[in-house]
Amino acid sequence: MRFRYTALNNSGKTENGFVDADGEFTAKDRVKNKGLYLISIKEEVEKTDKKHFVFSSGIRQKLPIQLARQLASLLRGGVPLFQALTIISNQLDSDEEKEIVTYLKDEVKGGAFLSDALKTYPHIFDELFIYSVQAGERSGALETILNYQANLLEKRSIIRGKIKAAMVYPAIMAIVGTGVLLFLIGYVVPMVIKIFERMNQGLPTSTKILIGVTNIINNHYYLFFIIAAILYGAWVWMKKSNEVQRIWYRFLLRAPIFGDFYMMVAVSRFSTIMGTLLKSGIPMLQALLAVSRTVKNTIISEAIVKIASMVEEGSDLSASIRETGVFPTYVADMIAVGESSGNIEGMLTTVADYYENNINTKITSFTAMVEPLIILIIGVIVAFVLVSILLPLFEINKIIMKK
């Protein structure tokens, strides 16, 4: 059990803190053994995880950036941490955001470290954010590290936003095109089929194919739900199977066209986070291990752990990266330059900027390529449907004209 206490030290100043013990009596003894005069002690009730799931993804994306940026500015201006959190909580409009920051404020007021308070909301503040705050508290440079974190989160948010924006138009076109096709196949084609059946005429191959597809969709639509359920089950199973995940992540890294883009995002993320952590004064070994825990791709994560192991044994970071072969040689070459000049974090930032520019170029090219491609595909399918309908109608019209 954990107890929060308030006590007086030998100088007569109030101290707040926490102590772990089997019971209240033992906790009191441990406080007294520290040479403190106990004023009050209360068991700390553990927060359950149930409230962690009620917060929207918007808060998860926005609040860490806002908190880090504003907190860094206020701390740099000499405002105490508790007062800074109070000011931030008063500025927030969302009740959910206020609840989170108010909890952080109350914990800090009670003597807890900010990093410990952040752990109550793991679905809002990720491990890297908490680890960086903890390093800032230990080094006394919390405002600097929070500023670095704000920059890091903003960069990630910008890249994520660009990728989502690039997918909006193709997604809309795909939805509209699918809707048009379903309308044609669900309503128009069945009416035309009835005409063909009454005329008892031979039909072109394309029309037969269209009729077959229409029958499957209209009469056996439940098959699509079964297939969707099977695919969902396979996805859940894949997420639980480490070996299947490794195969999937290896495929992502080697996939044509997309593999290069995926690697660019991975390298940019690695370089940005490593540069941020090293600037924050975190030792390289700890920074590598922290980065490895934030990477979802197990292939890359295991490679970073191996790099950390080699660094611990005395190898240079550039040589370790080159030996694992998971990142492009450009990364190792630039870091080697940084090692020789004593500015590794600066070179990591350069690498991150280089790959961010490439990512932006790729996104622009992807958008320019996908938009006309989707229009072309939808146009070809719609044209096939229309031709398959019109050809027999023309034949029927010829027969009628002859009569």
CATH number at residue 174: 1.20.81.30
Do 227 and 250 belong together in one domain? yes
Among 5-14, 65-74, 164-173, whose mean pLDDT is lowest? Answer: 5-14
Q: What is the mean pLDDT of residues 331-343?
A: 92
Taken in order 54, 127, 307, 145, the sign of the CA dihedral is positive
- DSSP 8-class letter at 268: H
Do 110 and 88 belong together in one domain? yes
Indicate the residue type of 169. Answer: Y
Do 300 and 384 belong together in one domain? yes
The confidence score (pLDDT) of residue 402 equals: 64
Among 204-218, 233-247, 389-403, whose mean pLDDT is lowest? Answer: 389-403
Residue 181, in any domain of the structure: yes
Among 67-71, 238-242, 286-290, 346-350, whose mean pLDDT is lowest? Answer: 238-242
Q: Angle at Cα 261 formed by Cα 260 and Cα 265, nearest 5°? A: 120
Q: Angle at Cα 102 formed by Cα 98 and Cα 108, nearest 5°? A: 150
Do 254 and 207 belong together in one domain? yes
Neighbouring CB atoms inside 10 A of 340's CB total 12
pTM of the predicted structure, to 2 decimals: 0.65
* Domain extent at residue 328: 168-403
Q: What is the mean pLDDT of residues 267-279?
A: 87
Neighbouring CB atoms inside 10 A of 228's CB total 10
Indicate the residue type of 87. Answer: I
Residue 251, in any domain of the structure: yes
* Lookup: tokens for 78: 């000499």
The confidence score (pLDDT) of residue 354 equals: 92
d(CA 370, CA 167): 9
d(CA 310, CA 304): 10
Do 35 and 113 belong together in one domain? no
pLDDT in tens, 115-146: 888 988 888 888 778 878 887 887 777 888 88
Do 78 and 190 belong together in one domain? no
Tokens 């990591």 belong to which residue?
348
Do 202 and 308 belong together in one domain? yes
Q: What is the mean pLDDT of residues 255-261?
A: 85
d(CA 111, CA 101): 16
Find the radius of gyration of the CA atoms of the chain.
Answer: 30
pLDDT band, very low/low/confident/very high, at 57 (cuts 50, 70, 90): low
Do 34 and 59 belong together in one domain? no
Distance of CA 94 to the CA centre of its chain: 22
The confidence score (pLDDT) of residue 159 equals: 79
Per the structure, how many domains does the chain have?
A: 3
Indicate the residue type of 141. Answer: A
Do 315 and 251 belong together in one domain? yes
- Evaluate whether 355 touches 271 at the Cβ level (below 8 Å): yes
Q: What is the mean pLDDT of residues 227-238?
A: 86
Do 192 and 338 belong together in one domain? yes
Do 210 and 86 belong together in one domain? no
Residue 318, in any domain of the structure: yes
